[in-house]
Chains A and B, each alone.
Chain A
Amino acid sequence: MSHTKSTAKPSAIEKPLLALGVLLMIVSLCIICWQDAASLPAVVLLMAGTIVTTSVLYVYTGARAREDERIRKAIAFASLNSWLILLWMVTGLIFSIGIYGQTGMSTLRLATLVLLIMLAVFAGWYVYYMIKGDVE
């Protein structure tokens, strides 16, 4: 049996859905971080944003091959840059806590801040690559 990959073109809804998902996550994380408490509406928004973002990214990270190579590359490189910055940030936090003691932040605020920076860096690089044109 031959094994063929789906090479369907990205549907028109996928790009706005990705933007909406990231936006929902960023807004809900900002609310949780600002209040230093998790209200029900903020958590529901966060879950909705997570489901939308991860579903769209699952398609683009290669689970289903797409014809739009540029978007796939932009997402891959934006994720790569965000991954590098996240690792640097978490290592820096571990090092500073190990040497200087606890931070003044609560764990909830720290967790939301980590997710927030992850998404903001990803969104920033994604927009940069889409405006730039070529992705290398």
Chain B
Amino acid sequence: MSEGNLKWTVISFWLGGLLLIATSAVIYVWNVLNDVTAAAVLLGYVLTISSFFTYIGVDKSGKDERARKIGTMSAAWSWYITLSFAALVLAFDIWSGRQFETPRLLATIVFIMAVSMMVANVWYSRRGDVE
């Protein structure tokens, strides 16, 4: 993969992630889920996933083994954190008797997924070795 393409892949990944974080925060804080916020989430998803496939090696143009490992391990950690968080929220919701509204619940899940993914990405990138 050329330097220019890799640069655009990284930009697209970060832009998509930040858009997902910002939009899910807006949906949660103002409890507003309309066609504009829905389109913004979809755009964030497309930007993140289109570059993410290069990271994890589905797109064969990405031959950077370390980037693939970072992508895979970050998604694994993000999945693990989302699973723990969602199960705890569900249990606390049930016991407290207070339930999330549907848009807020979905926005929280997207927020946790995007934030944990990006934090894990930065952490693995700075750490050096990825195992």
Contacts and interface: CB of A to CB of B under 8 A. Distances in A.
B75 A84 contact: yes
A37 B49 CA distance: 35
B105 interface: yes
A97 interface: yes
Contacts, number: 138
28 contacts: A54-B80, A54-B87, A62-B131, A65-B131, A77-B72, A79-B80, A80-B79, A83-B76, A86-B79, A90-B113, A91-B110, A94-B27, A94-B37, A94-B41, A94-B103, A94-B106, A94-B107, A94-B110, A95-B42, A97-B38, A97-B103, A98-B35, A99-B38, A108-B99, A110-B106, A112-B90, A115-B83, A119-B83
A30 interface: no
Given A43-B91, A97-B103, A107-B99, A82 B79 contact: yes
Interface residues of B, number: 48
Interface string B79-120: 110111011111101110001111101110110010001000
A61 B82 CA distance: 14
B45 interface: yes
Nearest to A69: B131
Count class of interface residues, chain A: 35 or more
Contact of A54 (B38, B49, B84): B84
Contacts of B78: 83
A54 B78 CA distance: 13
* Majority-rule SS of A interface residues: helix
Contact of A95 (B38, B49, B73, B91): B38
B102 A97 contact: yes
B38 A94 contact: yes
A6 B90 CA distance: 34
A61 B77 contact: yes
A83 to B, nearest CB: 4
A111 interface: yes
